[in-house]
Structure 1
Amino acid sequence: MRTNIKTHSGNRIVVEFDGKEVGLVQSVRMNDNYGLEDASGIGDIHVQEHVPTKAVHSISVSTMVLMKKNLRDVGIAPQNGDDVLAGLVFDICTYSKDTGELLRKYVSCSYDSGDVDVSAHRITMASAQFKALDVVGTLI
């Protein structure tokens, strides 16, 4: 017998916020944007180079709201503007559940925005967006 696992799956990945697991995270979307700007000159329509101007790393999270271990209870999502002004930062990491190996780490993350969806006959959902100062890890 042999193992045939060649892809990463959400079933085999752990997401940690500031070293803590938050219950029932449904999705994490990680985006890296380097603000490429076209470099071309007068009299030539052809771009000669795409110059990176600013690295923007953003993370979007969707989670079911639990009675405990939700984003606010563990201090990841601020309660109000006063909490935001404290300037607290943290890391968001994804690990392989199989090996414990770090897949991707977003460094010095700040809460950017979020919302809560309360609907009839549905589990209450929350989403949050974060900005990171840097990113490491090449496995996803």
Structure 2
Amino acid sequence: MKQNIQARSGNRVVITYDGNTIGAMKSVRMNDDYAPEGVSGIGDIHMIEYVPTVARHTLTCQQVVLKKSSMRMAGIAFENGDAALQGLVFDVEVFDKDDGTLLKKYMGVSYASGDVEISANAIVISSGQFNALDTAGTSI
């Protein structure tokens, strides 16, 4: 018998703070933008190169689930502007579900914005947007 697994599916996304896993994300959209700026010569309208100017790593997620507390109690989502000034950061790691390989990691992640939806006969849903200082991993 031969096992035919050629595509990754059902990966695990975890939130780590101070080296400890404190939660997970139900879904995450990861965006890496290097803000390329076009370079041309004087008197020439044709681009000769696109130079990266700043690395922006953005994570957008739905339903962040923490093990023992809410996002606000853990300091991941801020209660108010004063809490935002504390500068707390964490990491987000994506692992292969089958063999546990680390596929992608975002370091120095901080909360940017988010919302909470409360509706009848449904669970409370939190979504958020986060910014990361750096990223590593080539498997995704």
| TM-score of the aligned structures, taking structure 2 as reference length | 0.85
**3-state secondary structure, aligned to 1:22:** strand
Change (3 A) 1:76 1:55: same
Percent identical pairs in the alignment equals 49
2:13 pairs with one of 4, 12, 15: 15
**3-state secondary structure, aligned to 1:61:** strand
Q: Which residue of 1 aligns with 2:135?
A: 135
Unaligned runs of 5+ in 1: none
The 8 Å contact of residues 23 and 66 in structure 2, kept in 1 or not, is answered as no
Distance, in Å, in 2 between the alignment partners of 1:123 and 1:79 is 21
The 8 Å contact of residues 40 and 46 in structure 2, kept in 1 or not, is answered as yes
| Greater mean deviation of Cα atoms: 58-67 or 114-123 | 58-67
The 8 Å contact of residues 58 and 131 in structure 1, kept in 2 or not, is answered as yes
Change (3 A) 1:111 1:64: closer
| Greater mean deviation of Cα atoms: 69-78 or 13-22 | 69-78
RMSD: 2.2
Change (3 A) 1:107 1:44: same
Change (3 A) 1:105 1:33: same
**Paired residue total:** 137
Cα distance, 1:5 vs structure 2:
1.3
The 8 Å contact of residues 22 and 71 in structure 1, kept in 2 or not, is answered as no
| Greater mean deviation of Cα atoms: 28-37 or 70-79 | 70-79
Match runs of 1:89-128 below 5 Å: 89-128=89-128
Cα distance, 1:63 vs structure 2:
0.5
Change (3 A) 1:84 1:64: closer
Distance, in Å, in 2 between the alignment partners of 1:66 and 1:102 is 20
**3-state secondary structure, aligned to 1:78:** coil
The 8 Å contact of residues 60 and 128 in structure 1, kept in 2 or not, is answered as yes
Structure with greater strand percent = 2
Distance, in Å, in 1 between the alignment partners of 2:47 and 2:96 is 40
Match runs of 1:20-35 below 5 Å: 20=21, 22=23, 25-35=25-35
Distance, in Å, in 2 between the alignment partners of 1:134 and 1:64 is 21
Change (3 A) 1:95 1:107: same
Distance, in Å, in 1 between the alignment partners of 2:12 and 2:70 is 15
